[in-house]
A and B are shown apart, each in its own frame.
Chain A
Amino acid sequence: MTTAVIVFPGSNRDRDMCLALERATGQKPLRIWHQDTALPKADLLVLPGGFSYGDYLRCGAMAAHSPIMREVKAAAARGVPVLAVCNGFQIATEAGLLPGALITNSGLKFICRNVSLRVETSNSRFTRGYNAGQVVSYPVAHNDGNYVVNADTLKRLEDQDRVAFRYSDDAGVVTPETNLNGSTANIAGVLNEARNVLGMMPHPENATDPQLGRPDGGPLFAAMLEAMA
């Protein structure tokens, strides 16, 4: 089982992601520099969090054109699973791997805390370890997590059961008050049409060590692992 984490200049959650992957798979993930032009054969690719290119121009805009992204897009098109977290989610939308865009939080503040998320679908290799409607707690740490999609795209996401997570309260109730960053329909995570790419602002990799709070991200890593086996 081979997992690979793509590292951009300014990535900073790549090590946390590697720890979570190693904990789940028992093997050290490969770390791939963004200027590489070839990908090793991998069962899972990860675009990690951070501040690639200092968030200049738009978050993820420059990283989306890094040489390795051509290969990541080709691999995703072949069905290789891609997990894109936080800045990785921004890079994935800029690269066209996922619909929509991420803009500045509606409250204009950097938000760094644990949040409750309602799992919206268990129909994916990433979320099959949860039940739809289950509430999990992951940390968020972002300034630009406000997910924007137009009405047509939103309808398609809903009709195709592609919303993976929504910002909710502890009981799983989704309201405008639980929408911490202004995202369309409280969306915290979405799947692509083929369901092999998941983009999300919250950090499941930072919810895997019991010493640091509820390890609610564990089932996500376990499910990905099971799907790869």
Chain B
Amino acid sequence: MKARVHVTLKNGVLDPQGKAIGHALHGMGFAQVGEVRQGKFIELDLAETDKAKAKAQVEEMCKKLLANTVIENYAIELV
């Protein structure tokens, strides 16, 4: 089973890189773009075959290492 983890900065935490990307897009003529937020995508190969157990394991990984919950949110998708 694979787990796909998206890590994003929490609302309200300044995202200087997202801002720079937004400015660049506007400069290129993509005027329709509003706020841009940049995050991380992490894909994990898991030996676990039970979905509930896999979810719990990845949750723990997110809390302990993959995300810093002081400033970041995470979302887990199992495929």
Contact = CB atoms under 8 A, between A and B. Distances in A.
Contacts of A120: none
Contacts of A62: 65
Contacts, number: 38
Interface stretch (A2-10, A21-29, A100-108): A100-108
Interface in B39-58: 40
A61 B70 contact: no
A157 B44 CA distance: 38
B70 A57 contact: no
Nearest to B20: A108
Interface residues of A, number: 19
Contacts of A93: 70
A107 B14 CA distance: 11
A103 B65 contact: no
Contacts of B65: 57, 61-62, 65
Interface in B12-71: 13-14, 16-17, 20, 40, 64-66, 68, 70-71
A104 B70 contact: no
A93 B70 CA distance: 10
A182 interface: yes
- Of B9, B20, B65, most buried by chain A (CB within 10 Å of CB) is B65
A149 to B, nearest CB: 8
A108 B17 contact: yes
B14 A182 contact: yes
Given A57-B65, A57-B66, A61-B65, A148 B71 contact: yes
Closest 4 CB pairs of A and B: A101-B70, A101-B71, A108-B16, A104-B16
26 contacts: A57-B65, A57-B66, A58-B68, A61-B68, A65-B65, A94-B68, A99-B70, A101-B68, A101-B70, A101-B71, A103-B9, A103-B13, A103-B14, A103-B71, A104-B16, A105-B16, A106-B16, A107-B16, A108-B16, A108-B17, A108-B20, A146-B16, A148-B13, A148-B70, A148-B71, A182-B16
